[in-house]
Structure 1
Amino acid sequence: MSSRSAQTVTSRAAELAQEQEELLAWRRRALTQQLPAAAFPAGTSAPSLAYLWASFFVVVAAVLGLTVNAHTGALPAIADSQRDIAIKLANGFEAEIHQETTVLDRILQSRGSLSQADLLVRAIADGNRVTGAAIVDMTTRKSVVAKGDAVPLDALPNPLPSGHPVAVTTADGPMLVYSAALDGTQSLLAVQPIFMRTLRLNPDAKHGIHLLTGDGKSSLLQGAHAIDVAHQAKVFDGLYGITSSKVREVIVDEWPDTRLIAAAAPVGRTGLVVVSLLTAPVAKGTTVTKGLLIGASLLAVALLSFLIMRKSLVRPVRELLNQAKEDASGATTRERRPLGVREAHRIAKALATTVGAEFPEGRRWRPSVTQGLALAAVIALLWPAAAVAMVWRSPDPQLPAQLVRDGETRAESAGFTLGHFLDDGLATVSRTSRLVKTDDLAATGHTLQRALADDDRLRALYLVDEKGEVLSKTGRQPLRTPVPVPGEVGIHLDDAIGRLPVVYAYNELPSGYAVIGEFDPDRLLGQIGRVKGRVRVVDSELRTLLDSRGYVAYQPLTGRLAREVAVEALPGVTVGRGAAADGHPELAAAVGMVEPASVAHLEWAVVVEQDVSGVRLPEMVEHRWLLLVAAVVVGIVLVTHMWQFYIFVVPLRRLAFFADKMSSGDLDHPVPPQRHDDIGAVAICLEICRQVRHTGSARFGGALRLRGEGPDRTTVLSLADRAVRSHSRSSKG
């Protein structure tokens, strides 16, 4: 062959190669335009990326959460407890103020023709806590008539605010001044010294309860001074006249290992502020080092699980898609590599079969996608399992003595509130019994109605005869068993009414008749429900009578610690425990109800239990964060793996099923894509390769569409014809 002929052949070969490259490039472009673009979150990489990013945010949140609590100072649990005590004391004062205001309003409404002197006598006599009253000319601010303790007119603001009392501090201590207008110039002023029942304060912590009044003065109501009086102004600065509760931690330079905690709460709009002030030892919070270790371990486990997800699903599908695009474009692959995942390997084998290429078998066993993702899930769940095990096996913290004292205070508060609630109901029944007329049941009915309307403690108020039968009633249907009353006057529990505790107050008349008032169980629950924690009232047999969290009456008291403190408290003492016998942290306190005297014979005890898991101790904070992070990680793992399984694994296995048929020589069944994502693109490429075996290389790249054999019925209309047809359609409508 001459040199010229050789050059011609070489040139022709180069032209054919160039044409083949241009054809392949055109096919690739056409195929790319037809294949779905699997952008986030449709691609197979979306779940693993979502898992990694979510794990990263969880790591950051865990580290920040533990870092925020890594401060040195008083225990937050003590501060929270003091805030709760201050709020409860303030609410108690506010309830007393409301009661006194109601009494004074009732006196003024029923004044009638009473003289000014008689009005003052009645105000002091009927008021439970008012010790002095005066009628004052507000224009001259001078007293016209006075009785009892003097009204501190000089300490009162000018003008007096209307609608609520004013708190002032005098030489005798803090007091409240109530005001009620009588006419255009005169007003009734009544004074009430502020006292407080005895609390179980911690002398070791120098715990004291202070009252701040609107005139910028403070008084110690109970307890000890935690700091010198000369320095109290700095501690109380900013607490006068507050409108919401506050907690302040004060650092004293001379006390390196002790902090001052001041918890304050306002009493309505009176300007009175209750402050609980005590000392607390310095304690370390959560450690930053532990937070970093927790975050680093979680991030390492998340990265390992992420890599396994990528190797099990994302990388095989990407390699398979690249090979499928080449085969669907008609490109020749010199060497085909076996894929490491079973489903991808089966699909790659089908691609090789359709294009007539050799495919290496490689090793016989390959893991499936499900097995790889299951391994990634197991590794990802190792961290939550380790976190739960760490919390489960870690030693329980020792509760501070101050929390135990505060628990005893709450128990006494609940017992005090419930006892006086019952005693006030008995007072209503006794007062009503002096007004009823047994020979005039109609008048008695009106008397009972008025008494029940003024006292919402009772659900029913009625008159019974010597046998206990109801003669006249008002309110709801009586539940008490119709038997004679057990005595002359008192409070009794009728435990013969199934699962409902029927508590009633009674007062026997000289005629043998008696007035009975049944207490509303919901109101009884409302009294004990004001205390933080779970409150239960039990009798001498340790049967549950009331439970703030819902209950069935007369069920045995549950919980060994609760039973222990209840037994010790029944004689009338206050008992608190900071841990059970087995060392598991619990906080329970109980008090025997012996005050007032009208409830002592009931032999009841009030048991208060507090959930220690919610207390802000450093160890409990770490445990809660670990459990929270573990729960979030478990949720992330479940969501991402269910996403991968149902959205990607199931279609991939279905495609592998079709691929097995094609590898066995069955090329008659089409391969439909299930979703427009990476696996759907592989299915389209596999379908193109299958069609090539039937229609030839014209199907490479998916550029041509099959035409039908019938005539083409499409007709292009002229502009005139389209206008005529459009006009005819509009005229028909």
Structure 2
Amino acid sequence: MPMLGGVRPPIASLVVLLLVVAALTVIGLDGIHTGGIPQAVLNGEQRIAADTAQSMRTAIEAEASTVRRTANAYPATSTSTPTTALKALTSARKAALGRVLLDAHTGKLLATGGKTVPLAGVGVARTASGHGEIPPRLVTSGGTRQLLYFAKVTLPAQQDDPDQDQYQAQSGTERQWLLVVSEVLPALTAYGDGRTAEVLDASGTVLATAVHGTASPAAAGSGLSAAAARAAHGSGSDTDASGSMLGAATGSRRTVAGWAQVASATGQGETDDLGLVVLTSRAVPATTTAADYSGFALEAAGALAVVALLLGMALYFSVQQPLLRLYLSAGRLARGATGDGPAASAELSRPVPVHGFGELARIGRALDSLRGQLLGESGPQEFPARRGPGYRALAVAGVVVVACWSMPMIFVLNRADTATAVPAPVLADQQARTEIATNRVRQSLDRSYTDLSEAAASLPGKSRAAQTEVLQKSLADHKQYRSLYLLDRSGTIMLRVGDTPLRTLVHVPHGGGITTVNTSGRIPAIAAYAQVRAGKGKAPAAGVVLFGEIDVKALNSILPRPKLGSVWVTDRDDKVLAASVGYRAFQSLPDSGLTRLARATQGAPGTTGTATSAVHNTSSGPSVDAAAPLAQSGPTARLGWHVVAAEPAAALQIPAVQAEQHTMLAGILGLAVGAACLGWLHVVVIRPLRAVAVLVERLAGGDRRTVLHPVNHDEIGSVTRSLELVRQALAEHDRAARSGHAAGPSRPLRENTLQR
């Protein structure tokens, strides 16, 4: 009969789900092959290209922002001339090839400097008339490609210029110039020995090339450049698209290439219309020893299928069939107890067969005893307290059988060897990506120092109010600062704008650079500092230093990159100053292996050290780790800081690690399914059976007062309801016997009694 619960669903679910796990085992392991170039190597090259493209994008956007900021800060007056303005605006631009100043309304050339700026195709009036910032443009001059940076310069009206008077009548009291600066592409850097990095335009033409170490000739094939440009063009609106490709093979090595667009990852960006693509390539050794896990998958799945079928058959013949027979016997006994006449006698005349073992056998023997009592052939019967193993032991045995398949899958089979599981190219890629992350941190800190130095250079000779205005403007223009303040020679803050300083170290350093101004607390305080001169042309005032505390959140935000893992910036004592994951200020690195790796980057005294990488075995499996010194030159070179990155090998598509993961997952799923289904069987069948067995033995032993309440709407609930009818019949039989009336085996009960 149809049941909502009962014995059938757990047993059927156990068999079906174990077969599903067997199928998943085949699916998960069958597609893992080693040989040729692992997917993890291709993915690593793609991410290196994406990281390199991000660095170039950041450099272009920073240069465009600097040009605009310089133009906005220019102290224009009504008497400013184009020549003096152009000189003032670009005197600090050492990288500029050429610069021009144009009338934004007419496009008239007002002043020039350096090499000729290629303005062909640049509609000055249309370019300057747009709202918002003007993005850089890529142009060709003398066979080379250059970037043009634009900035608007707003000046008061100049009354003695007839050309400007007409424009003034149309646009009010202000006039506007357009500054155009031409520069070469930002310097391109290749990371990782033997790697080539190229910048391509939309047609696939190579604009810049960088090589690290000795690159293989096959790693710089022109076919890859054209293929990368086509792939980038085919990416459509996906502005931060990237990908990987396989190049030519040379002997036992094959070229692996990655490409990425130099475009904004989120929203509209400065570089979206440039059409630049970064291509990185490197020759790596192809794996010659192939391993195929499909055979193992079929064997493991077949073993689990056998386990599932054997368990299903065992439970079917030892639990399901005996319980269904017991359900029929109990119903027959209830009909005999509540009926009358020959039909009832016929129902009671048939002995109750005893099926199975444990609780079902106990209930069967008790039912047969009750049948005899209903017929008047016997009286109450006591049953022994000691009993043999029951169905609980059968459920435990079933879990053990499933565990015999699952435990080796979880803990023994297809274990990845930490020393050999991670291919050498993958480890090298992690080191290269850590170096790129280090370069991003260094560039950010260098820019912070440069910006602070510019602010410090504008302070001498100004009043306190003017200095406050300069610092407030600098704080507004440079979002990485949380606080700017001046220290006098005693370390006292003379002037401050922004948040309350976090500094706890009262010191007045000489020169300029980057430092930490606290060694404890909730937030690490990293600051740029620069000396403030007493006046124009004079030496720095002793002890007068401008400090700019850098918001650690700005530093944290540049550390995360896809599949780079957790990244930390540590000081010379290996204490964490910034991280891409949650951390506590000045804590140690989370693993001793990472600390040793960071210390291994330290070179001989007076040297900056070199990047290094290693595979560490952690509690969660192999981890691909790398560390690099923060800087080799510049304001951060003396700090002794490091950048450390750790990515679990499980997150990378490494065949040996994938096989271990999928094997463990199959084992966990198998054990979970077996425990869940057999636990379900215990809850809905075995535990109620144990309770019913106790009650029916009490009833057969003469207990007529305990009412049997059915709990579940299944076979056991039906057996319980039948037993309650038998109890009522026996209780009425006993009352009739005590009152001296002749009683047959039973007599019919009222309908309301039956419904109760």
Same topology, TM > 0.5: yes
TM superposition shift of 1:533: 2.3
Amino acid at match of 1:464: L
What corresponds to 1:235 in structure 2?
A: 227
**Structure 2 residue aligned with 1:614:** 651
Partner of 1:653: 690
Aligned residues of 2:100 and 2:110 also touching (Cα < 8 A)? yes
Inter-CA distance 521–136: structure 2 relative to 1 (3 Å threshold)? closer
The aligned residue for residue 577 of structure 2 is 545
In the TM superposition, what is the alpha-carbon distance from 1:581 to its structure 2 partner? 10
* Residues 118-174 of structure 1: CA deviation (Å, up to 9, x unaligned): 565456445575433446899999988654344455698999898533446777655
- Pick closer, same or farther for the CA change 1:105–1:540 going to 2, 3 Å: closer
State the match for 1:384 in structure 2. Answer: 406
What's the CA shift for 1:507? 2.4
- Greater shift, 567-576 or 228-237, is seen at 228-237
Q: Aligned AA for 2:541?
A: S
The answer to whether the Cα contact below 8 Å between 2:219 and 2:281 also exists between their aligned partners in 1 is no
Q: Distance in 2 between matches of 1:142 and 1:565?
A: 60
Q: Are residues 1:511 and 2:477 paired?
A: no
Partner of 1:577: 613
Aligned to 2:642: 605
Aligned partner of 1:355 in structure 2 is: 371
SS across alignment from 1:100: helix
Among residues 689, 703, 715, which one is paired with 1:678 in the alignment? 715
Q: Distance in 2 between matches of 1:94 and 1:651?
A: 69
What letter matches 1:101 in structure 2? A
Instruction: Work out whether 1:202 is the aligned partner of 2:218.
Output: no
Alignment of 1:50-449 (within 5 A): 50-70=13-33, 73-109=36-72, 112=76, 115-117=81-83, 120-121=86-87, 124-127=90-93, 129-134=95-100, 146-152=112-118, 163-167=134-138, 174-178=145-149, 189-203=180-194, 207-219=195-207, 221-223=209-211, 224=215, 225-226=217-218, 229=221, 231-232=223-224, 235-236=227-228, 238-241=230-233, 242=235, 243=238, 244-250=240-246, 252=248, 259-268=254-263, 269=272, 270-283=274-287, 284=290, 286-330=292-336, 331-332=347-348, 334=350, 336-356=352-372, 366-391=388-413, 395-396=417-418, 397-436=420-459, 440-449=463-472
3-state SS of 2:611 partner:
strand
Alpha-carbon deviations, 1:358-394, whole Å to 9, x = none? 99999x9542121111111121122221112215855
Q: 1:61 is paired with a residue of what secondary structure?
A: helix
Structure 2 gap segments, 5+ residues each: 154-166, 264-271, 337-346, 533-539, 734-743
Q: Trace 1:558-577 onto structure 2 (pairs within 5 A).
A: 559-571=591-603, 572-577=608-613
Q: What per-residue deviation string (whole Å, max 9, x for no partner) do you get for residues 623-646 of structure 1?
A: 111122222233323332332223
Kept in 2, the 8 Å contact 1:155–1:168? The answer is no
Scaled by the length of structure 2, the TM-score of the pair is 0.78
CA deviations over 1:13-62 (Å, ceiling 9, x no partner): xxxxxxxxxxxxxxxxxxxxxxxx543x5121111212222222222222
What is the one-letter code of the residue matched to 1:191?
S
Q: Secondary structure at the match of 2:631?
A: coil
Deviations 1:403-425 (A, max 9, x none): 23222222322322222222222
Q: Deviations over 1:54-89 (max 9, x none)?
A: 222222222112223347542111112112212212
Separation of aligned partners in 2, 1:673 and 1:157: 89
Q: State how 1:709-728 maps to structure 2 within 5 Å.
A: none
Classify 1:614/1:288 alpha carbon distance in 2 versus 1 (closer, same or farther; 3 Å): same
Of the three residues 483, 495, 504, the one matched with 1:460 is 483
Is the contact made by 2:416 and 2:657 (CA closer than 8 Å) also made in structure 1?
no
Equivalent residues of 1:415, 1:593 under 8 A apart: yes
Residue deviations 1:310-338 (CA, integer Å, cap 9, x gap): 34532332121122222233325645433
1:196–1:297 distance in 2 versus 1, CA, 3 Å: farther
Answer whether contact 1:168 1:176 (CA < 8 A) is retained: yes
Q: What secondary structure is seen at the aligned counterpart in 2 of 1:427?
A: helix
Cα deviation code 1:427-453 (max 9, x no counterpart): 233222233368843333222211111
Q: Secondary structure at the match of 1:637?
A: helix
Does the C-alpha gap of structure 1 residues 85 and 222 become closer, same or farther in structure 2, counting only changes over 3 Å? same
Q: Which amino acid aligns with 1:574?
A: T
Does the Cα contact within 8 Å between 1:240 and 1:273 map onto a contact in 2?
Answer: yes
Q: Distance in 1 between matches of 2:482 and 2:17?
A: 55
Q: Distance in 1 between matches of 2:501 and 2:476?
A: 17
**Farther off after superposition, 413-422 or 189-198:** 189-198
CA deviation string 1:631-670 (max 9, x = no partner): 2233323332332223332322221121011110223433
Q: CA deviation at 1:248?
A: 3.7
The amino acid of 2:752's aligned partner reads R
Counterpart amino acid of residue 318 in structure 1 = L
- Residue 264 of structure 1 deviates from its aligned partner by 1.9
- d(CA) in 2 for partners of 1:151, 1:463: 41
Output one character per residue of 1:340-360: Cα deviation in whole Å (capped at 9) or x when no partner.
Answer: 332212222232222227999
Amino acid at match of 2:437: A
- Report the Cα offset of residue 546 of structure 1: 3.5
Q: 2: distance between equivalents of 1:215 and 1:573?
A: 40
CA 1:467–1:289: 2 relative to 1, 3 Å: same
Runs of 5+ consecutive residues of structure 1 not aligned to the other structure: 1-36, 709-733
Cα distance between partner residues in 2 of 1:339 and 1:467 = 97
Tell me how far 1:556 sits from its aligned partner.
4.2
- Aligned counterpart in structure 2 of residue 669 of structure 1, from 699, 706, 716: 706
Change (3 A) 1:517 1:179: closer
The change in CA–CA distance for 1:621 and 1:156 in structure 2 (over 3 A counts) is farther
Instruction: State the 1:674 CA deviation.
Output: 0.5
- CA contact 1:436–1:447 (8 Å) conserved in 2: yes
Amino acid of the residue matched to residue 391 of structure 2?
V
Q: 1-side partners of 2:723 and 2:654: how far apart?
A: 62
Shift of 1:306: 3.2
8 Å CA contact 1:651–1:679 kept in 2: the answer is yes
Distance in structure 2 (CA, Å) of the matches to 1:415 and 1:249: 26
Q: 1:212 to 1:155 in 2, by over 3 A?
A: farther
Look up the SS of the partner of 1:324 in the other structure: helix
- SS of 1:367 mapped into structure 2: coil
Structure 2 residue matching 1:132: 3-state secondary structure: strand
What secondary structure sits across from 2:218 in the alignment?
coil
CA RMSD of aligned residues (A): 3.9
8 Å Cα contact 1:245-1:263 kept in structure 2: no
SS of equivalent residue, structure 1 residue 595:
coil
- Indicate the SS of the match to 1:601: coil
